[in-house]
Structure 1
Amino acid sequence: MQATLTMHALAAAFHSNTHVPVSSTVLKDPEHSTVIPSAATAARAKDVRPGSDEEETTTTTITTTTIITTMQSPVPCQLNLTRPEGYIEAPPQSSSAFHSTMDCSYIITVYMGYGVEVQVMNVNLSEGDKVAFEDVGHRENTMLANESILMRGLVVRSHSNQISIRFHSPRSQAGSVLLRYQAFVLSCVFPQRPLYGDVSVSSLHSGGEAFFSCLTGYQLQGPSVLTCRNASTPYWSGKEPHCLAACGGIIRNVTVGRIVSPGFPSNYSNNLTCHWVLEAPEGQKLHIHFEKVALAEDDDRLLIKNGNSIDAAVLYDSYEVEYLPNEGLLSTSRHLFIELTTDATGTSTGIAIRYQAFAAGHCYEPFVKYGNLTSSDNTWAVGAVVEFACDPGYTLEQGSVTIECMDPNNPQWNETEPACRAVCSGEITDSAGVVLSPNWPEAYDKGQDCIWGIHVEEDKRIMLDIQVLNVGKNDLLTFYDGDDLTAKVLGQYGGSKSRFKLYTSTADITIQFQSDPATNVYGYGNGFVVHFFEVARNDTCPELPEISNGWKSTSHPELVQGTVVTYQCYPGYQVVGAELLMCQWDLTWSGDLPSCERVVSCADPGKVEHSRRVLSGPHFIVGSSIQYICDKGFTLSGNSLLTCFNRGSSGPMWNQKLPRCLPETFEPCSHPGTPNYGIPSSNKLHFQAGETLHYSCLTGHQLLGDPVLHCVPGHPSQWSGLPPVCKAHPAEYDGHRLDVSTAHLRMEGVQVAFATFIPVTLLLIIIIGIYLHFSKAQRKPQQLSLSSNVPYENITGESTFDSSVYETTETREYEVSI
């Protein structure tokens, strides 16, 4: 009975032209009076994998309930999903057939601290379909992806706990998208490391902590610990701190530390007055090392006093001492007072002072900048022996390699600690090392000319790794492939350049650095760092492996410089990467190894000039098509529709060649004629389609009509209008009317005279002919009465006429007969 009712209801609906929405109507529960929107039911259906029993049961319920209820206006496919995972099919199949356009919106919301990860399982879009993924958990929505990049396997991740997916189609037969979503744990972004400091993180997830610290000599400004807090988008509990060099302060219970001027290693500011007080534990003394002292040559000043006040005795005064003591300074008490003052004019790098406290009966801990040391006693007691070494690229200067702590009554080192500096020039025979610009990492001096020579074993070569190059534009760093400056130049550089490598062809290389005498390069980190390594001699590039589903061919049996290796793929596969690899002069290949991947779509066939094309989809997959439509004025030569099909082992290909759009040909227009008193711009007989013809009038005449005619293309081609008319100006027409009338009357008189004279003449000729004929027949004298009055004696034997018509009677008769 219910089935019969269903069929009657459907038939009545269709006969009355009423649309019957299947899943978009308002549903009623047969057992309860509660109204249930079908969208909610659809949401429950989409939260499980398509094809499951739950989905099938729900769909059946929707269909049955919809048929037996009163039909109402359709509800849009707008769903709010809150499960941690599920599937979305956009648009729902049950709704797509009942709307001229389709607009669907899906909002997925998960718990705080989690994000939404959406994977495209299948995509089949029609022309005009739009899909947009937006992160809506922030104050401002963020676009994550759209239909232009939509492809199977694409994964889209939100940055918050809420994501919106919108589907729009302008047609009823819309495409479809199948998506799978799931929640994932969000995390805070890694905090920014403070300048002159460091940061370590226990976890980036909610509850994790970030710990900040500063380098020696800098103080932390801000929180030392930040916590990752849970929210729609996790965030740190505060802003990252900064590490700043303080202008003065009291440092108690000193062990080992460092004092730097504000802004170090950059320049300090003007008008500073900084006071530092160092206080060692009871019974200990203080020792300081000068790492850096660079003051402006004006009134900037550094004072170090043996006490804890400004009135203590002076140990060091930059006004009076030209050179820094390499051994540093010792206090006689547990305090040191340090004062830095700057004026209002120039600035410079400033100061960097290392300090330490040491107990009685011990020497202070030695220190060497840009080097390291080893000691027989790490307590630095009397008898301790220390040996120094410099970091690669630095040279030991101004001191002894080995020192010893002596004198039990007043422990002190028997020699001054050495200094490690990056020097200008040198000869190096190590198998590996570093060449640094002078004074690195400090700025080099202007007007320098430095030469370094690097030598390895004869059967070896040298590889140079230029890691830092930041010199002035007028400064030059030159590499010579040999043991002197006459060798071939490997490269010459100035200014800044990113990291690169060079290889020598010999066992020696010469490096020359020349700084401009007027250079303006100042500051920390300006210069160069060149690492060098001894490498085995090799005149060929390394062997390249074969690739799967393809093969390679070489231009030379040995992989010497300039050899080209060509990679090709089997039918149905395409090369991903560079097809051609060349062995470069530095014996490295010009690119990475390519691969062969199966072709799953046709290549873009390109565009046709003077046409537009219509695509069946965003990608050229098998089965997709392209239709070419020529612009107006052009005709298509070839097939307008190209379809991508799979040719088996050969892979997907287009079924037709690319068509062409040729200019359309039209018949010419004939000359339309010239009006009276008119002048055409051309008198040629035929005009091609698109050409124009201009008209003008003689002086005293006015042109009436269109002065320009166009040859309109067509079959046949036609003029755009009739030729114009040239009419005399009204004033001149009235002035000449009388003359025209008189001339007309005279012409009429002439015409009347001619009309009368000609018939009379013809009649006379006929009468004379008849008369002569009858006279001859009667043998009468053939003389006219007209000539009888002429005296005979005046008649001569010669004719007085040029014409022979009057010579004889016979001749006159002949002429008359004619």
Structure 2
Amino acid sequence: FFKNPNADRIGFFFLPVNSFFSKKKVRKYVLSCVFPQKPLYGEVSVSSLHSGGEAFFSCLTGYQLQGSSVRTCLNASTPYWSGKESHCLAACGGLISNITVGRIVSPGFPSNYSNNLTCHWLLEAPEGQRIHIHFEKVALAEDDDRLLIKNGNNFDAAALYDSYKVEYLPNEGLLSMSRHLFAEMTTDATGTSTAFAAGHCYEPFVKYGNLTSSDHTWAVGAVVEFACDTGYTLEQGSITIECIDSNNPQWNETEPACRAVCSGEVTDSAGLVLSPNWPEAYEKGQDCIWGIHVEEDKRIMVDIQVLKIGNKDLLTFYDGDDLTAKVLGQYGGSKSRFKLYTSTADLTIQFQSDPATNVYGYGNGFKVHFFEVSRNDTCPELPEISNGWKSSSHPELVQGSVVTYQCYPGYQVVGVELRMCQWDLTWSGDLPSCEKVLSCADPGKVEHSRRVLSGPHFTVKSTIQYICNKGFTLSGNSLLTCFNRGSMGPKWSQKLPRCLRT
């Protein structure tokens, strides 16, 4: 019997043998090749399974074919495919010419790469075009493993990316200046990883953010949703991606990137404002403005945790919703942690970096936390003091109010008598005290005289005698004695005399 070779099952002829045999036997003749096995990370298509038919082999993006790309079905009692079985491997380097789109994966991906490798890839775009690289994933095992991307067609070209020198991937990717890019990967004698760029649905990653997924095996159909850490904004790519295409598993969108951006509007009750590109260095010549808005009956407390900018760069805080509002503070250079408070429900932050700034490197910039707080346009009530009292210049302790401390008779103020409610709603100075007076005050000198003291201090029972100069006559008592007047404290016995010209 015979069935169509194009049906679900391969057709066969069953032939009876001739009469020369004393017993009837049956032989089976196969007239077609079995369908060739698809290589791992590759594809296969067939023109025909019959003798003379061809099988065409190809690899998924990022993999290279090992073996023949075309195999022929050869005629025999059992037809077979010519040549050796084809394989798809992530090779160590190679020339990729006339490219319009593609992918590079680390040697052996998705398995770990080997030790002691030096791999070179030369990417060449069509004449008159340039190459843009987007990093899908980089995970090198050790500090001694290195990935270099050069802006040219050889190792001596200028580096666009060096994993030794940067801890982050450029979110915007890399753009060549010519039609060539040169990539080198080197590994040391110990430690391996899956390195860079996956050819299928690799484990997604977002720096300065987090992700949730319906399937952490990243199988086809897995959906991943991304979110950024506080202070960062989702850029590039989609907030949600899905693993698609069972034949060539891949994410339907590019992984997003979380970046600290220049400028923004914030309406959260608490949050974080970071210098552009934090914790990496900000760029020259930037002018960034952030607006922070809370409920109308609330105010904003600003906690400047890190401030390390150039001396000619400026970070300014405005007590309102635009740059015409009162300036809370303006800062440049480095400053230890401090706090500010607004008197309105709005805060505007402006950062201006000098076009010639020389502040570069990890951790240079600023980190500003903000929190919604209860409305409070007054300073806190000041405490009373023993043996004294206080008085205020205003019924409410608003900014600019002055509180004066005074002491009861027999006591004197020690410290600052006046305290002012400052712009940040804190009091100037420290709390004074009233201490008992144990001596008389210096009564002063009398013109045209000299005085004789009984001791160095004006304690109780001490005396001062005034003697007029020649040509002057004393008017009043010449001797003053310090007496204790009870609740009134120590006082002098007499008023100061006078020396009159005779």
TM-score (norm 2): 0.50
Matched residue, 1:313: 119
Q: Deviations over 1:338-397 (max 9, x none)?
A: 378999xx9x99233799969xxx9977554333455678xx435686654333222122
Residue 146 of structure 2 corresponds to: 338
Q: Deviations over 1:6-30 (max 9, x none)?
A: xxxxxxxxxxxxxxxxxxxxxxxxx
The residue aligned with 1:465 is: 303
Distance 1:645 1:501, change over 3 A: farther
Matches within 5 A, 1:557-706: 557-592=395-430, 594-596=431-433, 598-599=435-436, 648-650=486-488
Cα distance per residue 1:541-572 (max 9 Å; x no partner): 33333333322111122223322111223344
Letter in 1 for 2:378: T
Contact 1:308–1:336 (Cα < 8 Å) also in 2: no
Q: Helix, strand or coil for the counterpart of 1:485?
A: coil
| Equivalent residue letter for 2:138 | G
TM-score normalized by structure 1? 0.33
Q: Report if the CA contact (8 A) 1:458-1:507 is conserved.
A: yes
Q: Which amino acid aligns with 1:352?
A: E
| Matching of residue 325 in structure 1 with residue 111 in structure 2 | no
Q: Is 2:368 the counterpart of 1:530? A: yes
Aligned residue in 2 for 1:730: none
Equivalence for 1:479: 317
Aligned equivalent of 2:217, options 381, 398, 405: 381
- What secondary structure, in the 3-state scheme, does the structure 2 residue paired with 1:542 have? coil
Q: Which residue is 2:267 aligned to?
A: 429
Structure 1, residues 759-779: CA drift from partner, whole Å, max 9, x if none? Answer: xxxxxxxxxxxxxxxxxxxxx
Q: Give distance in 1, aligned partners of 2:143 and 2:359.
A: 39
Partner of 1:352: 167
When residues 492 and 409 of structure 1 are mapped into structure 2, their CA distance, relative to the original with a 3 A threshold, is: same
Q: Rg bigger for which structure?
A: 1
1:411-426 pair list within 5 angstroms: 417-426=255-264
Tell me, what secondary structure is at the counterpart of 1:541? coil
Letter in 2 for 1:313: C
- Between 1 and 2, higher relative CO (CA 8 Å, sep ≥ 6) is seen in 2
Give the gaps of 5 or more residues in structure 1: 1-282, 287-305, 631-636, 663-818
Q: Secondary structure at the match of 1:468?
A: strand
Structure 2 Cα separation of the partners of residues 387 and 641 of structure 1: 94
Distance across 2 between alignment mates of 1:606 and 1:642: 9
Instruction: Return the alpha-carbon distance in structure 1 between the equivalents of residues 206 and 422 of structure 2.
Output: 44
Aligned residues: 340
Q: 2:285 aligns with which of 429, 447, 472?
A: 447
Once the two structures are TM-superposed, the CA of residue 446 in structure 1 deviates from its matched residue by: 0.7
Unaligned regions of 5+ residues in structure 2, if any?
Answer: 1-108, 124-129, 150-154, 170-190, 195-199, 468-473
Q: Work out the CA distance in 2 between the residues paired with 1:615 and 1:523.
A: 71
Q: Is the 8 A contact 1:549 1:573 kept in 2?
A: yes
Q: 1:396 aligns with which of 210, 223, 234?
A: 234
CA offset at residue 451 of structure 1?
1.7
CA distance in 2, matches of 1:643, 1:468: 62
- Partners of 1:285 and 1:599 in 2: CA distance: 85
Per-residue CA deviation, residues 765-813 of structure 1 (Å, 9 max, x unaligned), is xxxxxxxxxxxxxxxxxxxxxxxxxxxxxxxxxxxxxxxxxxxxxxxxx
Report the RMSD for the aligned CA atoms in angstroms.
5.7
Question: Retained in 1: the 8 A contact 2:266–2:290?
Answer: yes
Distance 1:469 1:352, change over 3 A: closer
Q: Identity over the aligned pairs, expressed in percent? A: 70
By how many angstroms is 1:426 displaced?
Answer: 1.0
Q: How far is the alpha carbon of 1:449 from its aligned partner?
A: 1.6
Q: Distance in 1 between matches of 2:248 and 2:262?
A: 39
Residues in 2 aligned to 1:624 and 1:393: alpha-carbon distance in whole angstroms? 72
Letter in 2 for 1:307: S
Between stretches 382-391 and 426-435, larger displacement belongs to 382-391
Question: Using the alignment, how far apart are the partners of 1:603 and 1:565 within structure 2?
Answer: 27
| Kept in 2: contact 1:476–1:493 (CA 8 A) | yes
2 CA distance for matches of 1:564 and 1:576?
18
Distance 1:434 1:552 in 2: 41
1:308, CA displacement in angstroms?
1.0
Tell me if structure 1 keeps the 8 A contact 2:235–2:258: yes
Distance 1:447 1:571, change over 3 A: same
Going from structure 1 to structure 2, the CA distance change for 1:538 and 1:591 (only over 3 Å counts) comes to same
| Superposed displacement of residue 497, structure 1 | 3.9
The CA distance in 2 between the partners of 1:622 and 1:402, in whole Å, is 85
Post-superposition offset of 1:520: 1.8
Quote the Cα distance in structure 1 between the aligned partners of 2:440 and 2:248.
86
Instruction: Give the counterpart letter for 2:217 in structure 1.
Output: A
Structure 2 distance, partners of 1:626, 1:308, is: 97
Q: Is the 8 A contact 2:440 2:459 kept in 1?
A: no
Inter-partner Cα distance in structure 2 for 1:644 and 1:405: 97
Moved more, 406-415 or 559-568: 406-415
Distance 1:367 1:606, change over 3 A: farther
1:639 CA drift (Å):
12
Mapped partners of 1:518, 1:550: distance in 2: 58
Structure 1 position 422, deviation (Å): 1.1
Indicate the residue corresponding to 1:254 in structure 2. none
Q: Of Structure 1 and Structure 2, which has the larger fraction of its residues in helix?
A: 1
**Aligned twin of 2:332:** 494
Distance 2:313 2:143 in 1: 46
The answer as to 2:359 corresponding to 1:521 is yes
Q: How does 1:93-108 map to 2 (within 5 A)?
A: none
Equivalent-residue separation in structure 2 for 1:639 and 1:370 (angstroms): 86
Aligned to 1:546: 384
Question: Post-superposition shift, 1:467?
Answer: 3.4
How many Å separate the matches in 1 of 2:414 and 2:224?
A: 60
Letter in 2 for 1:555: S
Change (3 A) 1:613 1:536: farther
CA apart distance, 1:425: 1.0
- What is the Cα deviation at residue 400 of structure 1? 4.1
Determine if contact 2:114/2:192 at 8 Å carries over to the other structure: no
Distance in 1 (CA, whole Å) between partners of 2:114 and 2:345 is 59
Cα-to-partner distance string for 1:574-626 (whole Å, 9 max, x where unaligned): 4454322222334333344x253543865996999xx9999989xx7977989
Q: CA deviation at 1:438?
A: 0.9
Aligned-pair distance for 1:329? 4.8
State the AA in 2 paired with 1:328. V
CA contact (8 A) 1:503 1:586 kept: yes
Separation in structure 2 between the aligned mates of residue 338 and residue 584 of structure 1, nearest angstrom: 56
Q: Which residue of 2 aligns with 1:211?
A: none
| Counterparts of residues 34-73 of structure 1 (less than 5 Å) | none
Distance 1:653 1:363 in 2: 94
Q: Note if contact 1:645-1:652 (Cα within 8 Å) is conserved in structure 2.
A: yes
Give distance in 1, aligned partners of 2:415 and 2:444. 24
C-alpha change, 1:478 and 1:352, in structure 2 (3 Å) is: closer
Contact 1:307/1:336 (8 A) holds in 2: no
Amino acid paired to 1:327:
K
